[in-house]
Chains A and B, each alone.
Chain A
Amino acid sequence: AAGVIQSPRHLIKEKRETATLKCYPIPRHDTVYWYQQGPGQDPQFLISFYEKMQSDKGSIPDRFSAQQFSDYHSELNMSSLELGDSALYFCASSLEQGKDTQYFGPGTRLTVL
């Protein structure tokens, strides 16, 4: 079965640079979620989109922005990167909002030097 695709899988950036993470949901899934997992920590919700509209917002820094496109893929844009942004960034998708299961991608490991 098709899974959530994330690219790139690994990314190394310098401080103050920008990064763009991409997420391709499972086909027919219309809701996308972004999570950040710091080293040794549990995943923290950043933001979600349903039918290309932002549906919920968590602890996402103002330096980050995201959007969902007409083909339902999503991009997380991160600017003015800081050392503390180094983490594993997960995208998840679900068939609909509400009680449906969120299926996670393999993650993008971002390292900020």
Chain B
Amino acid sequence: AQSVAQPEDQVNVAEGNPLTVKCTYSVSGNPYLFWYVQYPNRGLQFLLKYITGDNLVKGSYGFEAEFNKSQTSFHLKKPSALVSDSALYFCAVRDFHNTDKLIFGTGTRLQVFP
């Protein structure tokens, strides 16, 4: 069965410092991997995705993620955090062959302190 794990419930980082939000996945075939961000009382906003190609994927708002097949990870990164990046971040995976559905991780709350 496909699954995604986000091992950290919360990540705290000072403004201007680099941030990393971790995600590992488990799928039977080739994964499609996504990152979404959710602000309070808002929908899920798409940040970036990995389908094939370069392992380093660049997305919206200066975020990027690195696909690592050997470690089955897809960590979200940003070189310099902003207070406005504070939100709930979800990693999601979609099975290559199969279903329409996205399987989400449990989410990581990012708190950026000024």
The reply to whether chain A is a binding partner of chain B is: yes
User: A interface vs B, CB < 8 Å?
Assistant: 4, 31, 33, 35, 41-45, 48, 50, 55-56, 58, 90, 92, 97, 99, 101-107
B101 CB contact (under 8 Å) in A33, A41, A103, A106 = A33
Complex interface: chain B residues within 8 A of A4 (CB)? 43
Q: Verify if B90 is at the interface (C-beta below 8 Å from A).
A: yes
Q: How far is the CB of A46 from chain B (nearest CB, A)?
A: 9
Q: Could you count the A-B residue pairs with CB atoms below 8 Å apart for me: how many are there?
A: 54
B34 CB contact (under 8 Å) in A31, A101, A107 = A101
Q: How many chain B residues have a CB neighbour from A under 8 Å?
A: 22
Complex interface: chain A residues within 8 A of B102 (CB)? 33, 35, 43, 45, 102
Give residues 51-106 of B contacting A (CB, 8 Å): 51, 90, 94, 96, 99-106
Q: How far is the CB of B46 from chain A (nearest CB, A)?
A: 6
Q: Which 7 A-B pairs have the closest CB atoms?
A: A45-B101, A42-B104, A56-B100, A104-B44, A48-B100, A106-B43, A104-B43
Q: How far is the CB of B47 from chain A (nearest CB, A)?
A: 10
Bound form: Cα–Cα A58–B42 in Å: 23
Complex interface: chain B residues within 8 A of A101 (CB)? 34, 46, 49
